[in-house]
Amino acid sequence: MQLIQFISVLLLGGVKFFLAIPLAVQYDFSFWETFIFSCIGGVMGVIVFAKFRKVVLKIYYRFYPLDYNAKKKKSFRKIIAVKAARKYGLFGIAFLTPIFFSIPIGTFIALHFFPNKKKTLPILFASVLGWSFLLTLIWI
């Protein structure tokens, strides 16, 4: 039973990072179990979505092709992402990714604006580690 709980925290940490820590707390994980499994899940999510970013976008654009003549729809997250990228750069996007954007969306945004993976991914990893430590302190 506990293996399923660990895997569920890992998977949720890779997609909706903000929800992984309360789930671990609900499962009565210790501080270090919560911190480690949420970190591993978040870092794995960043790696997976960075690795398969082009494949995912190719599939997405097959179903939702770009229409350059259509009026651009501005969502709140899109506005925040552009402002963060322009004003605070990669660090701003990395700071907002685990909590506000979610791991997949934040990874896509970061790699869109800053395509150098050797620079971008370690900063996203550091953001996941920092948020994981802070949120684990808050929740436990």
Question: What are the pLDDT digits (tens) for 72-84?
Answer: 666 666 777 777 7
CA gap 57, 63 in Å, rounded: 10
Q: pLDDT of 86-134, one tens digit each?
A: 888 899 899 988 888 889 989 988 998 899 999 999 999 999 999 999 9
The pLDDT value recorded for residue 69 is 61
User: Going by C-beta distance under 8 Å and a sequence separation of 6 or more, which residues neighbour residue 129?
Assistant: 39, 43
Distances, alpha carbon 86 to alpha carbons 83, 97, 113, in Å: 5, 15, 9
Q: Kindly report the average pLDDT of the chain as a whole number.
A: 87
Which DSSP symbol is given to 71? P
The pLDDT value recorded for residue 71 is 62
The pLDDT value recorded for residue 60 is 80
The pLDDT value recorded for residue 31 is 94
Its pTM stands at 0.84
As given in the structure block, the two tokens for residue 66 are 């770009």
Q: pLDDT of 22-81, one tens digit each?
A: 999 999 999 999 999 999 999 999 999 999 988 888 888 888 777 666 566 666 667 777
The pLDDT value recorded for residue 68 is 63
- Give the 3-state DSSP-derived string for 5-65, with helices as H, strands as E and coil as C: HHHHHHHHHHHCHHHHHHHHHHCCCCHHHHHHHHHHHHHHHHHHHHHCHHHHHHHHHHHCC
In terms of phi and psi (left: phi > 0; alpha: psi -120 to 50; beta: otherwise), the region of 107 is alpha
The pLDDT value recorded for residue 86 is 82
